[in-house]
Amino acid sequence: MKFSTKVVHAGVKPCPVTGAIMTPIYQTSTYVQAAPGDHKGYEYARTQNPTRDALQDAIAALENGKYGLCFASGMAATDAVVKLLQPGDEVIATNDLYGGTYRIFTKVFAKYGIVFRFVDMGNIEDIKSAVTPATRMLWVETPTNPLMKIVDIEAVTTIGKENNLLTVVDNTFASPYLQNPLDMGASIVLHSLTKYMAGHSDVVMGALITNEETLNNDLKFIQNSCGGVPGPQDCFLVLRGIKTLHVRMRQHCENGAKIAAFLANHPKVDKVYYPGLSTHLNHEVAKKQMKDFGGMLSFTLKNDSIEAALKVLTGTHLFSLAESLGGVESLIGHPATMTHASIPKEERLKAGLADTLIRLSVGIEDADDLIADLSAAIG
């Protein structure tokens, strides 16, 4: 089944009672049993919910996976993955990653004896040299947040297999429309469904997808035991959003490419971080593993001052100054004080994240209007 058909039909079936084409919102906390243990597959809504089941089946299909699990947020999904580990285990993670991920690693799980090591995953040799007998997991973001670095998924998963490690790929920025890490050897794919998958800035949710039955069983146990599950209303919204993922992503990519080209040629712009540009350090890797280059990009100005950056950040009208990304509307953000504020400044600078970096989530509006908005703000 082609992707455009999957997004419309995967995981969903007409309601067997009424024939409703949309999956109903099963707003219930519990289910009646004919006798103790004699039920229709549903006992308690933390454990199972038909609306959530439909969404989990849909996201698994989109990632070419066998199993999908949904969580109350992307961070709840991250939390579940790290709970697979034991005190003393080590995780090697990319050094350019979402601030919330860095925070939960270093401020929550490090207290329990799990060691996190951050390396430039654009350099495969750095990953190999970081592996120790205690290493259990490789944590990948690609494209990275916010510098849009591209990590070679196949190369990293090869290291993982050679060393019997779990490879987790956060696929939020790309979405399954642009790349499918399980096909490249990943053990687990993670999504903040809040972003491109839902696509309308109206829900918070996370997901994990795998092809390995044992991994799924372990994660499902954590999902049920710890209870970080989404409600049926939110699951319904994501199911609805997924149906237009392919259409939205095509427009995000088209607009992202146009705006990246505009910025790359602007006399006041210094650097543009967008994997679709031929000048991007990892452009060839992006071409190899991605269908297109997405709608996320970052840039700095030649006037490398906070004042100049703030003028742009507060000077747009169509680009709204806000956290998050992946919605139909365009957003502008300042990673150093917003999405990545939880990372210490010295660590941000070491990874190449300047305090003057501006991040864009390019929406699906008319590209000419978006360019005019940026042009007026940059001056």
> Which of 31, 46, 57, 243 is the catalytic position?
46
Is 117 labeled as catalytic in the residue annotation?
no
Is 195 labeled as catalytic in the residue annotation?
yes
> Which of 6, 52, 136, 195 is the catalytic position?
195
Amino acid at 347: E
Strands 115-119 and 90-94: parallel
User: 343, 100 in Cβ contact below 8 A?
Assistant: no
> Which of 6, 26, 67, 98 is the catalytic position?
98
- List of residues 6+ apart from 140 with CB closer than 8 A: 93, 94, 121, 151, 153, 156, 167, 168, 169, 170, 181, 186
Is 170 labeled as catalytic in the residue annotation?
yes
Is 46 labeled as catalytic in the residue annotation?
yes
> Which of 96, 152, 170, 292 is the catalytic position?
170
Buried b (16+ CB within 10 A) or exposed e, 199-217: bebebbbbbbbbbbeebbe
Q: Which residues are catalytic?
A: 46, 98, 170, 195
